[in-house]
Amino acid sequence: MVKVWGLVAILLFVFAGNVLSYDRPATRKNIVIHPSNNDDPTFPEQVHISLVGLDKMRISWITTKSLIMPTVVYGTESGKYEGSANATTTSYHYLLIYQSGQINDAVIGPLKPNTVYYYKCGGPDMTQEFSFKTPPPQFPIKFAVSGDLGTTEWTKSTLEHVSKWDHDVFILPGDLSYANTLQPVWDIFGRMVQPLASQRPWMVTHGNHEVENIPLFHSTPFTAYNSRWRMPYEESGSTSNLYYSFNVFGVHIIMLGSYTDFEPGSDQYQWLENDLKKVDRKTTPWLMAVVHAPWYNTNEAHQGEKESVDMKKSMETLLYKARVDVVFAGHVHAYERFNRVYQDKLDKCGPVYINIGDGGNLEGLATRYENPSPEISLFREANFGHGQLVVENATHAHWVFQRNDDDVLVQRDSVWLTSLLADSSCRI
Ligand SMILES: *[C@@H]1O[C@H](CO)[C@@H](O)[C@H](O)[C@H]1NC(C)=O
Ligand SMILES: *[C@@H]1O[C@H](CO)[C@@H](O)[C@H](O)[C@H]1NC(C)=O
Ligand SMILES: [Fe+2]
C-alpha cells in the first residue's frame, strides 16, 4: 500500500512539475489592524497621499469624529510648518450597518521637486508628524508597481519589500482591499498601507473588487473606492475618478478603468482619445498605461472576460497608434511579461504588456498556464511580489520583478525597455 502511494506521489510530482517549477507559496491569512488611537476621535489615521498636477500633493486621512477645521500644515523642516491648506470632508454609509469615518483631503503646494516635506494633518491639536518626498525633476524616476493587494500576511510582505526600495511613486493596477462589501476591511487596508502611502504618492486605478454594488441594497458602484481613494482626474480633463492620467517628469501615465464604460463613444473612450492627442513626447518621452483586467494573458485564470476582450478590442488601436511603451495590468494573481505586441502578434511598435496582479490577496495565486507558452509571452511565474521600474533616461528603462520569497533583491525577471521614441521606424 505504501509503495502504491509512493508511486502515485512520484507520478503526481512529475506531472505537476510541468506546471509548477517548484512549490508555490500557499495563501496566507488576513490581518486585522485596529485603530492606533481609539480614544481620540480626531486622531488622523489611514493617511495616504497622491500626486495632483506636477507640483501638488493630496493628503487624505480619516477621523472618527468630524473636525471643526480639518487642516494640513507642512514645511521642508521637521517641526516648522510654513504652509497650510484646508481640507474638504466626505463620508459614506453602506447598507444600514456601516458608517464610514470622516474622510478628509487637502491639496498642498506648490511643492519643490525631489524634496522631503514634513506634515501634520488633523484638527486644532495635531501631534503626529509624517513626511514624504516629491518626485525628482529629472531622470531617473523610480516606480514600484503591484496590483491585487488585499490585507494578508503576503500583502504585508510585499509592502515590506517595497519599503526597502527607495522609489518615487507607487502604482496600483486595481483591486485594493478585497473588502468585498465588508467595509471595515477598507479601514484595515488604509491602516496597513499608511506607513508607505503616507511617504510616497500612491496612484491607483480600480479593479472588480472596487465595484461593491449590491442590486436593490446598494446600487451605487465604487462608493468606498471613490470616497477613500480620490485621484487627480479633473486635472487631466476626466469627469470620473475611475480613469485619469498624470505626469511624473518625463513619463505620462494613463490610468484606465476596466469596470466602467470603455466602448467607442463612451466618456472614457473620448477622454482617452483626447488625452493621447495632448501627449507631447518631447516633454514626456515615455508613455504608459495601467488597467486592471489584462488584454494579454496566458494564465488559465480570467480568460475570455469581457473587460479584457472587449476593452482590448475597443482601445488597443488607440494605444498602439499613440506608441504606448508599456501597459501594466493586474487581476491575474501571477506575474507575466510579454514581448511588444499588437493584435495578438509580435509588433515592434506595440506596447510591452506586463501583468503584475500578485500583491498578496487572500484568493491566492493563479498557477496554471496555457501550454505550450505562446511566442509572445516571454516570462511567466505565479508568485507574490512587486515590480520595480527605473526610467533611466528618455530612451531606457529597467524593469525588475521581485518575488516576496527572496529577502534580498533577486532579479527573477529583469529586462531593459526602450522607449518607442528611440525607434525611428516607429515614429508617428
Ligand atoms: C482655512 O479656513 C479658515 C477659516 O475659514 C480661513 O481663515 C483660512 O484662511 C483658510 N486657510 C487657507 C490656507 O485657505
Ligand atoms: C540611457 O541609459 C542607458 C542605460 O543606462 C545608456 O546605455 C544610454 O547611453 C543612456 N542614454 C543617454 C542619452 O544618456
Ligand atoms: Fe481583479
CATH of the domain at 338: 3.60.21.10
Mean pLDDT for the chain?
92
Residue 25 lies in a domain: yes
| Same domain? 142 vs 129 | no
- Going by the DSSP 8-state scheme, the letter that residue 296 receives in this structure is S
Q: What is the model's pLDDT at position 36?
A: 80
Confidence of residue 5 (pLDDT cuts 50, 70, 90): very low
Confidence of residue 38 (pLDDT cuts 50, 70, 90): low
Residue 38 lies in a domain: no
Indicate if ligand 2 lies below 6 Å from the C-beta of 398.
no
Q: What is the mean pLDDT of residues 38-64?
A: 93
Residue bearing the CA closest to ligand 2, atom 6: 396
pLDDT at 21 over 90: no
Identified catalytic residue from 167, 209, 292, 302 = 302
Q: Is 206 a catalytic residue?
A: no
| Same domain? 146 vs 112 | no
Indicate if ligand 1 lies below 6 Å from the C-beta of 83.
no
| Same domain? 263 vs 304 | yes
* Spatial distance between the Cα atoms of 390 and 7, rounded to a whole number of angstroms: 48
| Same domain? 119 vs 174 | no
Q: What is the model's pLDDT at position 40?
A: 84
Provide, rounded to the nearest whole percent, the portion of the chain with pLDDT above 70.
93
Which runs of E-coded beta strand occur in 315-376?
326-329, 335-342, 345-346, 352-356
CA dist 404 → 108, 149, 217, 337, 390 (Å): 34, 13, 39, 18, 19
| Same domain? 213 vs 249 | yes
Residue bearing the CA closest to ligand 1, atom 4: 69
Return the CA Rg of the chain.
22
pLDDT digits (tens, 9 = 90+) for 314-373: 999 999 999 999 999 999 999 999 999 999 999 999 999 999 999 999 999 999 999 999
Indicate if ligand 2 lies below 6 Å from the C-beta of 396.
yes
* Spatial distance between the Cα atoms of 149 and 145, rounded to a whole number of angstroms: 11
Confidence of residue 35 (pLDDT cuts 50, 70, 90): confident
What's the 355 CA to ligand 1 centre distance in angstroms? 45
Q: Where is pLDDT greater, at 234 or 13?
A: 234
Please state the domain count of the chain: 2
Please name which ligand lies nearest the alpha carbon of 422.
2
pLDDT digits (tens, 9 = 90+) for 220-250: 999 999 999 999 999 999 999 999 999 999 9
Q: What is the model's pLDDT at position 24?
A: 64
Nearest to residue 405, comparing CAs of 339, 347, 348, 335? 335
Give the CATH number of the domain where residue 117 resides.
2.60.40.380
pLDDT digits (tens, 9 = 90+) for 184-202: 999 999 999 999 999 999 9
pLDDT digits (tens, 9 = 90+) for 113-149: 999 999 999 866 678 999 999 999 999 999 999 999 9
C-beta of residue 376 within 8 angstroms of C-beta of residue 339: yes
Indicate if ligand 1 lies below 6 Å from the C-beta of 64.
no
What's the 285 CA to ligand 2 centre distance in angstroms? 14
| Same domain? 306 vs 383 | yes
Residue 232 lies in a domain: yes
| Range(s) of the domain holding residue 341 | 19-30+137-426
Residue 12 lies in a domain: no
| Same domain? 162 vs 194 | yes
User: Helix 267-278 crosses helix 306-321 at what angle (to 10 degrees)?
Assistant: 30
Q: What is the model's pLDDT at position 390?
A: 98
Residue 40 lies in a domain: no
Q: What is the model's pLDDT at position 124?
A: 62
